Amino acid sequence: MKNKGLIIFLVLLITFTFFSGCGDPEKEARASFNKAQVLIREGKGDEGKKLLNEVISKYPETKVATDANNLLNEMYAAKALTKAFKNEEIEAHNRTVKIDLKSAGLAQECYFIDNMSYSKSLNTLIGKEYEFYVSDGVMVSIKHANSKKYIMESYHNQGTKTYILSTGMEAPMEK
């Protein structure tokens, strides 16, 4: 009789344990949500987003669906901010190019006063004598120089625009 009671107890315990985890949408949603987070951390963002969207569509009434939606929104916002900062960074590089090219033009004018000709060599203009220095990543080249005019071109290795400056121009112009 003792064994029969023990057997019934074990059957009930196993049955309860088996069925207690089944059919709970919150637990199922949480398991998928956790898996999505792992995928995202492992650099598999597209797979993680797909799983988050499944949580939202399969378990819309759960708190986890709200968490999944919030995480997706945070991911999209972070991506948008990253893109905006990248665009700002590119524009900053482009502005640096214009500033450096304008400074190169001033150095050319100072060189002209001293030599009655414009410099054909950028190295002649760089340094303390003409107060011209090239910023990191900026490439400046002298395309033409003689006793009457100069033409220079400049770009940044992480920018998106190339500018030119020539004798008589007030400011660099996009090429």
Sign of CA dihedral 111, 115, 118, 121: negative
Tell me: pLDDT of 112 over 70.
Answer: yes
What pLDDT, in 10s, does the model give residues 145-163?
Answer: 999 999 999 999 999 999 9
What pLDDT, in 10s, does the model give residues 16-42?
Answer: 555 554 568 899 999 998 999 988 899
Element holding 1 (H helix, E strand): none
- pTM of the complete model: 0.62
CA distance 47 to 70: 17
What pLDDT, in 10s, does the model give residues 49-68?
Answer: 999 999 999 999 999 989 99
